[in-house]
Amino acid sequence: MVFLKKLRQVLWLPVAVLLMFSAAASAYSAPKTVLVLGDSLSAEYGLARGAGWVALLEQKLQAQKIDARIVNASVSGETTSGGRTRLPALLGKHKPDIVVIELGANDGLRGLPVAAAEANLRAMVKQARDAGAQVLLVGMRMPPNYGRDYADKFFAMFGALSKDVKAPLAPFMLDGVAEKAELFQADRLHPLAAAHPIILGNIWPHLQPLLKAK
C-alpha cells in the first residue's frame, strides 16, 4: 500500500506541474489587441526604429509569451483634440481590447486650456468603452517654467479624470526621466533611447492587469 501511495504521488507530480504552468498561462490566454494613441513620446521621435517604449513593450510581451498585438497609432505633435478626432476610425479598423491614451503633453506645451484637454480625454475614454475596449490613461507633467498654477492644474487633471471615469492611470510617464537632462535629446523635450525602458517601467504595472483581464 505504501508503495502504491508513493507511486501515485510520483505519477501526479508532472501533472501538478503542468497544471501550474497552465494556470499561469491562462491569465493571458485570450489574445488581445492594444492600441496606443499617443504623441511623439510614443512615436519614437528622434530615435532609431524599435527603440521606443512601445517597441520595448512588444518585446516584453513576446519574452513573456503574452499573446497580444500592439498597434502604435501615435503621431508626433498630436494633441488631445487630434486624438479625439482620429480615434473612432482606429477603433473601427483595429477593434482593440485595450486603448492606451498617451496624450496631453502638446496641449500643455501650447498652454491650451486644461478643461479642453480634460473634455477631449473624457470623450476618448467614452469612445473606447463604447467600442468595447478597456482604457489606460497616461499622465504628464508640465515643467514649472510654464507657470506653477497651470502645471499643477494640468497634472491634477489626469488624476481627477481617472477617478471620475474609473480608468487606471499611469500617473507620470516620465517619472525618473524628467529630472535627468542627460536622458534627453538636444531639444530637452524628447527622451533618448536610454530613457524608454524607464518609461515602459512606469506604464507596465498599470497595463499588465488589463492584459490579464478576461
Positions marked active-site: 40, 187, 190
Given its phi and psi angles, is residue 166 left (phi above 0), alpha (psi -120 to 50 degrees) or beta?
Answer: left
- Enter the C-alpha cell of residue 66: 503574452
Closest to 47 measured CA to CA, from 196, 175, 204, 202: 196
Closest to 199 measured CA to CA, from 27, 54, 39, 87: 54
Q: Chain centroid to CA 136: how far?
A: 6
**What CA–CA distance (Å, rounded) separates 39 from 56?**
17
Which DSSP helix (H) or strand (E) runs through 9? helix 2-26
Closest to 160 measured CA to CA, from 107, 206, 121: 121
**What CA–CA distance (Å, rounded) separates 198 from 64?**
18
Give the Å distances, CA to CA, from 160 to 31, 133, 157, 163.
31, 21, 5, 5
Which DSSP helix (H) or strand (E) runs through 116? helix 114-130
